[in-house]
Amino acid sequence: MKSLVTGAAVTLGLLLAPLTGSTLATARPDAPHQPTPEARAHGITRAGEAFMGWRQSTPSTTAPTTAIAPAAMAPAATVEGIDVSSHQGNVNWASWWNAGKRFAYVKATEGNYYTNPYFAQQYNGSYNVGMIRGAYHFATPDDSSGANQANYFVDHGGGWSRDGRTLPGALDIEYNPYGATCYGKTQAGMVSWIRDFLTTYKSRTGRDAVIYTNLDWWSRCTGNSTAFNGTNPLWVARYASAPGTLPGGWPYYTFWQYSSSPIDQNRFNGDQTRLVALANG
């Protein structure tokens, strides 16, 4: 998907997405992973079902498809949004819009073996209701290169278009639901893998991908690397009343995932005009 494709409501992301309606994750039969007992306890039963913040969530907070009443107002210079994966199925986007959500990130891919079977309904449904939307990739750095996974992501819905409604893709790099926390990589090796992904993504789309992570994982697995804080927007995960200490020397967060109840809740650090500016690049 090229970076400067403009403006149709139905983008190439839809054309590349799987058909909606399936209830099964579309991981290839040879998908290389089996969930750990901890991951199974959080609702990940097969390869491909990992989702943002899985280790901080519980199965009961990953499945709602309808919204709740709007929460108390956040500070004026923020915008509220959500992120979704196959766990939410077909999402009632009008309900979430009415609850005050103005952007959404949708899981497109995992590794190089899985595409979200609900991607089309979620990605285009959020757009059609009026939200600014983006796609995310759940990384599995132990089974293929960063470049390989970035290409897989872009080829299956993770691209970008300068239409003012499409956010840059996000790299979800966090706890491994299938094995060793740091995917068997050294800190230097993990930084190299991330750089490979980000460089390839930018070469394909023209955009610097957003990095979703948390302080604990980033410190353990990258040595709290500061390599990306001047180029890639930070999406920090912390389920608390404040984002806390940011990883990697980032001076500020761009997105903050602050809750998983009743669905993953996110806040953009700026007003709607800044969110549109991020979408436009």
Catalytic positions, please?
83, 172, 174
67 DSSP β-pair partners:
none
Q: Which of 135, 268, 280 is nearest to 206 (CA)?
A: 280
Residue at token pair 């839809």: 14
Percent of residues in the chain assigned helix, strand, coil, to nearest 5 = 30, 15, 50
The counts of H helices and E strands in the chain are 8, 10
Assign 157 to helix, strand or coil.
Answer: coil
Determine phi and psi for 138, rounding to 5 degrees.
-90, 115
CB-facing half-sphere around the CA of 94: CA atoms within 13 A? 0
Q: How far is CA 238 from the centre of its chain?
A: 15
Report whether 211 contacts 234 (CB < 8 A).
yes
Report whether 272 contacts 102 (CB < 8 A).
yes
